[in-house]
Every structure is written in C-alpha cells, then in structure tokens.
Amino acid sequence: MITFSNTYFDNASTSWPKPVEVGKAMDEFLRKLGGTYGRAAYGRVYQTSMIVEQCRNAIGEMLGVSESGNIVFTANATVGLNAIISGLDLHRCEVLVSPLEHNAVMRPLQRLSEKADVTWKLLPAGTDGRIIPEKVPEVISSKTRLIIVNHQSNVNGVLQPVDELRQYTGQIPLVVDVTQSLGNEPVQGDKWGAGFIAFTGHKGLLGPTGTGGFFVRNPEKLSPFFFGGTGSRSESFEMPQFSPDKYEAGTHNTVGLSGLLAALNHRPKQEWTREKFKELIQRLRRIKDVRILGADDFQHQGGLFSIAHSAYPPSTIARRVYDKFGIEIRSGLHCAPQAHKYLDTFPTGSARFAFSPWHTNDDLEKLGDVLEEVLK
Ligand SMILES: Cc1ncc(COP(=O)(O)O)c(C=O)c1O
C-alpha cells in the first residue's frame, strides 16, 4: 500500500491546501469586518482599505517592483492579461510570444488578429520551448510592438531567461506572465525591466480563487479595460488617470484579498528538495515508452512536469493514478495548445504533476513508485 502525505498534484490548476490562516482571515472578514475599499471615511472602510493596500505592498515585494501603486487587482491572471493586451490599443503590428503561452494570452491575441490586424510570431527557442535570447533580434521587425513571455510553463515547467532576454529586446515593452512561478520562483520585475506583469493569487501564492491582477510600469501608456465607479474623481464620466484607480472599477474582492494577504503572511517552507525532484525526473525518464515534458537542463525546471506515453492517453494515466492511489492530476491540453504544438504533444496533451510546498521528498519518492507501476 503506497500512502502519501498529500495526494493533490494539481497545484498548477489551483493550489490546495491553503494555509489555515487563509480561511480564518476570510471568515473573520465576513463575520467581523466587511466594508468596501476606499469608498467612505468610517473605521470599517479604513481597516478594509488597509488590508487591500497591505496586500498590494506585499505583492509588490513578491513581484520585485518598487512602485506598488501600479499593481492592479483583478479577478485572476486572465483578466490581468486581457487588461494589458487590450489596453495597449495594438493595431496593424506584430507581437512576439514564447512558444509556451497559455490561452490567456493566445485567445486575446487571436481576437486582436481578427479585429485589429495584429499578427503574432514565436520567439526562437530550444526543443523544450526555452527562449534563446541571443537569437531574438533575428525575429524583431519594424512592426514588433510587444513581447509576451510565460515565465514558467504550465505544461513542462520550463523557466524562461527573462533577465537575459531583456538585453536583446531594446525598447519593446515586455509582458511577463508569472501565473505559475510567483510564490515558487524569484520574480524581479524591476531588474527585468518588465513593462507589465500578470499574476494570480490562487496558485503558487496559496491564496483564494478570485484574486490576481497585473503590474503596469507606465500607466500613462495603458488605457483602462473596464470602466465604472472607483470612489475617486466621481464628478467625471472619465476614469481617473492615476493608478490603481484607472483600472480598478467596481467593488473589490475584499474577502479574497483578506485571504490572499493571510496567505502571503503565512507561507509554509517548501518541504521537497530540488535534488529529490531531479532524481524523480531521471527515474521517470527510464520508464519505457514514456516521454517527460520538462526542461532540457534541470537548472531551468520549475516545480511541475508532464508525462506523455506512446500507448496510454493522458486521461488513462490520470484515471489510473486516481483510481489506484487517489492521486489528483489534470490531463489534456492544460489550456495551452500552443505549448503542445511546439512540444509535439498536440492534440492529445499530457498528464501533469505540480507540487505544492507541502509535498515531501517521501511523496516524490512514492510518486516515482506509482508511475512505475501504472505505466508498465
Ligand atoms: C501560464 C498561465 N497563465 C495564465 C493562466 C490563467 O490564470 P487564471 O486562472 O488565474 O486566470 C494560467 C492558468 O492555468 C496559466 O497557467
């Protein structure tokens, strides 16, 4: 009998469990505090506004940006990416993207290609989809207006060389999607010179669903995507020109942000080690007919990977590990058909395993036992 301390390996979809303080903070907020953000001058609203601002500052630290006033809260990373891609007013131009982008990027770009004659092109990359920075100037043209990079792939966990990339992109604005990496990998928005960063609260940050957002370095260059009340400059039908109000129309998810702040303040220490993870990958690579989707060089591997088998479809692998061992994973395309096309696993996709800080080295060892058993 193989028993795990934690059978949930679907943390790239949404993380679970959350620190207990997350639920407590949300419960406390609902029962005792309540109140909107920035809409009135009594104590309850003041305290709620403080929670939102503390959360904004804490996210600023995580993103490595000094201007936390330019961090905007939205419902998730998808809304953040839409706000960036649509707010730039792109038309008749070209956007360069990494080969491992999620549909949260590809679908807004597809819409722009139909409506505004915006084309997209892949950045040069190796077999695992990791960008080769020094080759990037070869694909930049006079029509290139934007570069979008998924910092950590949600399919093979590859980490992109964002810092090096910046040295080859000149003044072209860079959008970095840190949805999968934030919380688990260092993010250095200022050092990277990222013009925009999209993030989510419910994955690596261990916060509740319904939280996320984006960072914008120069708010004067990004139009609002949503329009409505902000509690500021209410005499005008125009949105305020200053951030974050320019982009935060409507009532905030104050319950969710209370939970997210608690998650940031009570982050657990990661139990599993990279050495053990490397050992697991090496072990799995030895199983016959199995292909591991991961970084070609383990240095560039984030805490998730996928498996493709030449005989068993990903859904069969997911069903087997669940039925026999209770292991919860996601199979299929993971909303990233572009990544699978590049990695040659389209349209079947892969079976994906994503760790949380609570997984132990023993869990990783047992995952190896389970996969050897179900894939033989
Ligand atoms: C790389 C990447 N970007 C964006 C998203 C969208 O995140 P959200 O569900 O928070 O909108 C995901 C979700 O899986 C993702 O993996």
Categorize the per-residue pLDDT at 2 as very low, low, confident or very high, splitting at 50, 70 and 90: confident
Calculate how far, in angstroms, residue 200's C-alpha sits from the geometric centre of ligand 1.
7
Q: Which of 150, 335, 338, 350 to mutate to test the pocket of ligand 1 (most atoms within 8 A of CB)?
A: 335
pLDDT at 263: 98
Ligand 1 pocket test: which of 73, 74, 85, 102 has the largest number of ligand atoms within 8 Å of its C-beta? 102
pLDDT band at 376 (very low <50, low <70, confident <90, very high): confident
> Quick one: which atom of ligand 1 is closest to the CA of 212?
10
What domains does the chain contain, in order, with CATH numbers? 21-265 (3.40.640.10), 274-374 (3.90.1150.10)
Q: Are strands 290-293 and 304-309 parallel, antiparallel or unpaired?
A: antiparallel
Site to probe by mutation for ligand 1, drawn from 11, 82, 178, 180 as the one with most ligand atoms within 8 Å of Cβ, is 180
Q: What is the mean pLDDT of residues 2-12?
A: 93
Residue nearest to atom 12 of ligand 1 (CA): 179
Q: Express each pLDDT in 9-30 by its tens digit.
A: 999 999 999 999 999 999 999 9
Strands 290-293 and 212-216, sheet pairing: unpaired
CA gap 130, 122 in Å, rounded? 11
Q: How close is the Cα of 376 to the center of ligand 1, in Å?
A: 32
Backbone angles phi, psi at 367, to 5 degrees: -60, -40
pLDDT of 293 > 90? The answer is: yes
In three-state secondary structure terms, 49 is helix
Q: How far is the CA of 104 from the centre of ligand 1 (A)?
A: 6
pLDDT in tens, 161-186: 999 999 999 999 999 999 999 999 99
Report the SS3 class of residue 125.
strand
DSSP assignment of 140-178 equals --TTEEEEEEESB-TTT-BBP-HHHHHTTSTT--EEEE-
Q: Residues with beta carbon inside 6 Å of ligand 1?
A: 76-78, 102, 104, 150, 154, 177, 179-180, 200, 212, 335
- Lay out the sheet containing 119-122: strands in order across: 71-74, 212-216, 196-200, 174-177, 144-150, 94-97, 119-122
Burial of 62 by CB count in 10 Å (0-12 exposed, 13-18 middle, 19+ buried)?
A: buried
| pLDDT over threshold 80, residue 282 | yes
Cis before 17? omega within 30? yes
d(CA 163, CA 167): 7
Task: Give the pLDDT mean for 189-196.
Answer: 98
Query: What letter would DSSP give residue 8?
Result: B
DSSP structure class, residue 269? P
Between strands 196-200 and 174-177, the pairing is: parallel
Q: Which of 14, 59, 73, 78 to mutate to test the pocket of ligand 1 (most atoms within 8 A of CB)?
A: 78
Distance CA 312, CA 376 (A): 10
Residues with Cβ within 8 Å of residue 36, at least 6 apart in sequence = 45, 48, 231, 251, 252, 254
State the closest ligand 1 atom to the C-alpha of 335, by its place in the atom list counted from 1.
14
Question: To the nearest whole percent, how much of the chain has pLDDT over 70?
Answer: 100
Say how far apart CA 278 and CA 308 lie, in whole Å.
18
